[in-house]
């Protein structure tokens, strides 16, 4: 989020004009940005952000104070310095103004899950079309879709909106076609697929689009971002509210019915929870794959002993990670191909192997062996370990807690860049603080995979080894803030693997890590050492 000041003016037609005065510029959080776009493009029947009374009524009753049904609060949290603003320019993350808010109420939320307690309410006035966000060419406004249907002469036909957050596999495609036939009667129903994805991430959208030839004729696709916060202002929303929000947005696009594509096993909301829906939310007909007939049929026509169990999303993700083919009975070839492109096998993904443990735990020795094993498996690897890295990457830093944290973040940044380019980074710093390790994990996982190894050798064993005499100096007070003696080591609770070198030979610990990487799919099961050139870049850091 950013706060600043810029000269922004709006004319009577709500278009950007030569500035006349100044107003604070604020970039809202992603949830609020999603609300703002849906207000501005007409998908919401709202003119701006809610007052305290409107928000409370929506949370409690699912209605505005005037009785209008509406499922979720739409509020604008702002930092303290903007709490008294009378005007506010709302901008995207790149600083481009989207709208001007004329503040009608300043209010405070006592119970919240947001860092800001202050709220501003009031109407928003359009400034300029949004440019920020992925798949902008598919983020069509409701008026555009309704206009296309009018021009095509199909405006009087039923329109089935399908909310999709995941690829459309065979079961989902059968459900969509069955629902379209049901509401269309003579086959005249059209389909609009609303793809729900974040503003800055296309996610699995290409895999959803890959199913287009298998959907009814004239199926249209629109990308939108429905706010995903199940709690706002600290209040849990009743079940089914997200479905109701989708129904309101679908109606704005001209839909007469809504079908929500759900993962296997996901429970559907009850009829009571859908009671305020502006259009019918259809229950999805159940389909099962008949192994004897080798086709999909309605569930009541397939005996249990002939029904194939459909893999869930987590199982599909694991199959893709391990490079396994998705069953043809489960998903169309076009969708499978796109999924394999979007979610390559782990042997082709960047990876950071991050070993953490006390000084003398053996992590550096293990890291060197792991790097060599990764190299022999045919992957490009960089070893970040020991004094060389501290001298070259973090020259000038002290051993204070702040500087040690900065040192780890720098290592994390380098590892994240290696990972982003498809390489393997093996890091072995002490990294005693959980918060800093979490920051490194977050940096890496933006573009690749992170594997945390806790080398959990006990302190007394590390002290016995004490090859450099560091523990003795720390005990004597010669080294301040020494991890394990005068400064804490926060043991990981999120380690992917825990090894203890106390009674293990060096080769055993290395083999344990390599075996875990191989089982996870990051290393191939079989490799010929003779066919893989060396790719190790060796740097030291402790």
Helix/strand/coil (H/E/C) assignment for every residue in 209-223: HCCHHHCCCCCEEEE
Phi, psi of 21 (to 5 degrees): -155, -175
Phi, psi of 461 (to 5 degrees): -70, -40
Q: State both tokens at 525.
A: 């099961």
Q: How far is the CA of 354 from the CAs of 154, 371, 437, 452, 537, in angstroms?
A: 57, 11, 9, 5, 16
**Spatial contact of 259 and 63, defined as CB atoms under 8 Å apart:** no
* pLDDT at residue 7 greater than cutoff 80: no
Which neighbouring-strand residues pair with 295?
Answer: 290
Q: How confident is the model at residue 16 (pLDDT cuts 50, 70, 90)?
A: very low
Q: How far is the CA of 380 from the CAs of 76, 128, 385, 462, 514, in angstroms?
A: 47, 46, 16, 31, 15
pLDDT mean over 263-274 = 76
Which residue, among 530, 499, 457, 526, has the nearest Cα to 370 in the 3D structure? 499
Which neighbouring-strand residues pair with 9?
Answer: 17
E strand or H helix that includes residue 455: strand 449-455
* pLDDT at residue 253 greater than cutoff 90: yes
* pLDDT at residue 472 greater than cutoff 80: no
**Spatial contact of 24 and 89, defined as CB atoms under 8 Å apart:** yes
- How many C-beta neighbours within 10 Å does residue 446 have? 9
**Spatial contact of 495 and 438, defined as CB atoms under 8 Å apart:** no
pLDDT mean over 445-471 = 88
Q: Which residue has the tokens 């020494």?
A: 482
Q: Which residue has the tokens 């709490």?
A: 83
E strand or H helix that includes residue 26: strand 16-26
| 296 three-class SS | strand
Q: How confident is the model at residue 11 (pLDDT cuts 50, 70, 90)?
A: very low
CA distance 45 to 29: 21
Q: Which residue has the tokens 């049904």?
A: 69
Residue 129, CB-side half-sphere exposure with 13 Å CA sphere: 6
Q: Which residues are part of a known binding site?
A: 357-364
DSSP string of 142-160, one letter each residue: HHHHHHHHHHHT-TTS-EE
Which neighbouring-strand residues pair with 161?
Answer: 192, 258
* pLDDT at residue 529 greater than cutoff 90: no
Q: Are strands 97-108 and 118-126 parallel, antiparallel or unpaired?
A: antiparallel
CA distance 330 to 347: 24
Residues 39-71: pLDDT tens digits? 999 999 999 999 999 999 999 999 999 999 999
> What percentage of residues in the chain have a pLDDT greater than 70?
87
Q: Which residue has the tokens 């050492």?
A: 529
Across all residues in the chain, what is the average pLDDT? Answer: 87
E strand or H helix that includes residue 257: strand 257-260
| 450 three-class SS | strand
Q: Which residues are part of a known binding site for ATP?
A: 357-364
What lies within 8 Å, CB to CB, of 384 at 6+ separation is: 411, 414, 415, 425, 426, 427, 428, 429, 539, 541
E strand or H helix that includes residue 384: strand 381-386
Residues 352-395: pLDDT tens digits? 999 999 888 899 999 999 999 999 999 999 999 766 676 667 66
CA 524 to centroid of chain Cα atoms: 28
Phi, psi of 212 (to 5 degrees): -55, -45
Looking at 64-172, which runs of residues are DSSP E strands?
76-78, 87-91, 97-108, 118-126, 159-164
Domains plus CATH for the chain? 3-126 (3.10.400.10), 133-343 (3.40.50.620), 346-541 (3.40.50.300)
pLDDT number for residue 234: 46
């Amino acid at each position: 989020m950013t706060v600043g000041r810029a000269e922004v003016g709006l004319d009577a037609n709500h278009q950007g004009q030569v500035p006349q005065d100044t107003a604070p510029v604020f970039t809202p959080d992603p949830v609020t940005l999603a609300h703002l776009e849906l207000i501005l493009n007409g998908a919401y029947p709202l003119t701006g952000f809610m007052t305290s009374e409107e928000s409370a009524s929506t949370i409690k009753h699912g209605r505005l104070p005037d009785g209008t049904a509406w499922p979720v609060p739409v509020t604008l949290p702002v930092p303290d310095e903007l709490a008294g603003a009378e005007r506010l320019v709302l901008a995207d993350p790149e600083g481009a103004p989207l709208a001007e808010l004329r503040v009608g109420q300043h209010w405070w939320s006592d119970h919240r899950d947001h860092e800001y307690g202050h709220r501003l309410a009031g109407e928003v006035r359009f400034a300029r079309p949004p440019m920020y966000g992925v798949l902008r060419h598919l983020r069509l406004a409701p008026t555009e879709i309704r206009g296309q249907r009018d021009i095509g002469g199909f405006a009087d036909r039923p329109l089935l909106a399908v909310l999709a957050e995941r690829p459309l596999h065979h079961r989902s495609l059968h459900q969509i076609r069955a629902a379209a036939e049901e509401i269309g009667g003579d086959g005249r129903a059209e389909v609009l697929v609303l793809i729900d994805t974040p503003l800055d991430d296309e996610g699995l959208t290409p895999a959803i689009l890959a199913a287009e030839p298998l959907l009814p004729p004239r199926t249209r696709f629109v990308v939108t971002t429905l706010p995903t916060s199940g709690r706002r202002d600290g209040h849990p929303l009743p079940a089914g509210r997200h479905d109701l929000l989708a129904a309101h947005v679908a109606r704005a696009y001209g839909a007469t019915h809504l079908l929500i594509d759900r993962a296997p096993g996901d429970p559907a909301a009850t009829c009571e929870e859908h009671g305020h829906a502006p259009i019918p939310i259809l229950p999805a007909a159940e389909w099962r794959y008949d192994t004897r007939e080798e086709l999909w049929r309605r569930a009541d026509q397939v005996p249990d002993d002939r029904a194939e169990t459909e893999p869930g999303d987590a199982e599909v993700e694991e199959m893709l990670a391990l490079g396994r083919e998705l069953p043809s009975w489960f998903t169309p070839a076009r969708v499978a191909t796109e999924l394999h492109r979007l979610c390559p096998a782990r042997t082709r993904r960047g990876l950071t192997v991050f070993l953490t443990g006390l000084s003398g735990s053996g992590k550096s020795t293990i890291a060197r062996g792991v790097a060599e094993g990764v190299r022999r498996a045919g992957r490009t690897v960089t070893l970040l370990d020991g004094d060389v890295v501290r001298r070259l990457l973090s020259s000038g830093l002290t051993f204070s807690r702040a500087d040690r944290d900065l040192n780890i973040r720098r290592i994390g940044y380098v590892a994240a860049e290696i990972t982003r380019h498809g390489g393997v980074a093996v890091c072995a710093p002490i990294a005693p603080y959980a918060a800093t390790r979490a920051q490194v994990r977050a940096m890496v996982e933006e573009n690749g995979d992170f594997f945390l190894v806790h080398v959990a050798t006990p302190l007394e064993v590390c002290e016995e080894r004490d090859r450099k005499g560091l523990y003795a100096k720390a005990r004597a007070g010669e080294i301040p803030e020494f991890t394990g003696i005068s400064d804490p080591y926060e043991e990981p609770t999120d380690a992917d693997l825990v090894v203890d070198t106390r009674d293990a030979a060096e080769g055993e610990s290395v083999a344990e890590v390599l075996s875990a990487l191989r089982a996870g799919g990051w290393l191939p099961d079989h490799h010929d050492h003779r066919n893989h050139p060396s790719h190790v870049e060796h740097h030291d850091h402790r």
